[in-house]
Amino acid sequence: MPVPYNFEQIPTSFATCSIGHDPSHTLPVRLRAIASAGFDAIELSMPDIIAYAASLSPEHKEPAEDDYDTLVSASSKIKTDLLEPLGLKVLMLQPFANFEGWPQGSTEREDAFKRAKGWMRIMSAVGTDMLQVGSSDSPGIRGAKPDDLARDLAELADLGAKEVQGFRIAYENWCWATEAPGWKDVWEIVKRTDRDNVGLCLDTFQSAGGEWADPRTKSGYVEKDEVTGQALGDEEREKRWKDSLDELSRTVPAEKIYLLQISDAYKMDPPIEDKEDKEGLRPRGQWSHDYRPLPYDGGYLPVADFLKAVLGTGFRGCLSMEVFDGKAKDKYDGVDEYAVAGLRALIKLLKE
C-alpha cells in the first residue's frame, strides 16, 4: 500500500534478493509475503530469475547466465503466473554490475553490451522499464574518467530506448566502487550523460556507509579523509555529512531520482580487516553482503537523515527495501513476518 507523507502517496517496493533465509523461501513464497504485507512492487534480481528458471526445468538445473531464451521464458512466467495474480509490479531489474568504464574495443566492453541486450529482453518479458546499473567495482576500470563512464551510460541509454519501451537507467553508487563510490560521483556522471532516461538510484547504506560510517574502524565511523588521509574528528565528520545532505537536497532535481533504496548497517565488532577477501571484494562490499538490517533493527546509520534529504528535493517516488541481514533467520520466524516488519520500518521512518 502507498505510504502517506504530507497528503501525498509514496509507492513502496521490496527487493526479492532481500527476503528469505531458507531453501523453502522460494520466489513464489517471497512474492506472496511481499504482496500480503502491502508493498506495491518489487525489485527483481537476476539470481532469482535464474533460480526460478531452474525450478521449471525437469532436471532443476540452473540455466547459464547468458541463456537468454530460457531466462526470457521464465521471466514471462514470473509476470503472468506469479506477479499479475498478486497485483505486484516490477519496479526494476537488478543488479547489472561492472558495465561501464572498460576501454574502447576491449573484450570486457563488448561483453558488457552483449549482457545489456540480454537483460533488456528479460526486462520486456517481465514488464519493467528500469535497469539498475551499479557503479563498477572492477579494478580493471581504474583510472576511467567521468566522461568515459558517462559515455558508456549514454550509449546504453540510447540502445535501451530502441529495445524497451520507456527504458530508464537507475545509476547507483556502490560505496566500494572503483571510480564512483559516492552519490556526488554518480550524479556528476548522470549529468554528463545528458540523457533524459538516465537518473539516480540512491541508497541510504551506500551513502551513509561511505561518507559517515566505516566497517574497518573500531569506532564504526569514518576517521580520516579517504583522499588526503587527514584525520577527522567527530565534529568534522558530522559537518561533512550535514553539508553533503544539504547539497543533495539543493542540487539534485527530484525527477532525476528514480528510487531510494533503504537499509541500515550493523556496527562491526571486530572491524572488517582492511583488505580484499578471497573473492576480491573490498571491505565495504563485504559489509554490504550480510550486515544490512531493516531500519530500527540493530543498525546505527543515520538512515532518517538521508531519507529527509532525499524528500527535501521534492522526490516522492518509490521507497524500496534492499536489505541483506545474515541475522534475520534468528530474529524472524519467516518471510511473512519479515515483510510486515519492512513496511512498518518504512512507516516509522517517514514519521520520524
pLDDT digits (tens, 9 = 90+) for 104-116: 999 999 999 999 9
- 3 state SS for 206-249: HHHHHHCECCCCCCCECCECCCCCCECCHHHHHHHHHHHHHHHH
Range 46-54 average pLDDT: 97
How far, in Å, CA of 189 to CA of 178, rounded? 14
Helix runs in 232-334, H state only: 234-251, 283-290, 303-311, 328-331
Residue 139 has pLDDT above 70, yes or no: yes
**pLDDT at 262 > cutoff 50:** yes
Q: At residue 156, does pLDDT exceed 90?
A: yes
pLDDT of residue 2: 57
The pLDDT value recorded for residue 23 is 86
Mean pLDDT, to the nearest integer, of 22-43?
95
Structural domains of the chain in order of their starting residue, each with its CATH number:
3-351 (3.20.20.150)
**How is 30-78 classified by DSSP, letter by letter?**
HHHHHHHHT--EEEEEHHHHHHHHHHHSTT-PPPPTT-HHHHHHHHHHI
* Alpha carbon distance 61, 54 (integer Å): 5
Per-residue pLDDT band for 7 (boundaries 50, 70, 90) equals: very low
> Strands 198-203, 257-262: parallel, antiparallel or unpaired by DSSP?
parallel
What mean pLDDT do residues 3-17 have?
78
For residue 32 the three cell numbers come to 506472496
As a whole-number percent, the residues of the chain with pLDDT over 70 amount to 98
C-alpha cell at 190: 548522470
pLDDT band at residue 1 using 50, 70 and 90 as cut-offs: low
Confidence of residue 6 (pLDDT cuts 50, 70, 90): low
Answer with the residue of higher pLDDT: 4 or 302.
302
40 confidence band (pLDDT: 50, 70, 90): very high
On the question of pLDDT at 162 being above 50, the answer is: yes
pTM of the predicted structure, to 2 decimals: 0.95
Position 296 pLDDT exceeds 80: yes
Stretch 4-8: mean pLDDT, rounded? 54
Q: What are the C-alpha distances in Å from 99 to residues 102, 157, 174, 188, 320? A: 8, 12, 13, 17, 23
pLDDT reported for residue 5 = 59
Residue with cell 527530484: 254
Q: What's phi and psi for 133, nearest 5 deg?
A: -115, 115
Mean pLDDT of 33-51: 97
Mean pLDDT along residues 166-176: 98
Using only C-alpha atoms, what is the Rg of the chain? 19
What are the Cα distances from residue 330, in Å, to 22, 263, 325, 338? 12, 18, 10, 11
Q: Percent of the chain, pLDDT > 90? A: 91
| Residue 256 pLDDT greater than 50, yes or no | yes
pLDDT in tens, 203-246: 999 999 999 999 999 999 999 988 888 999 999 999 999 999 99
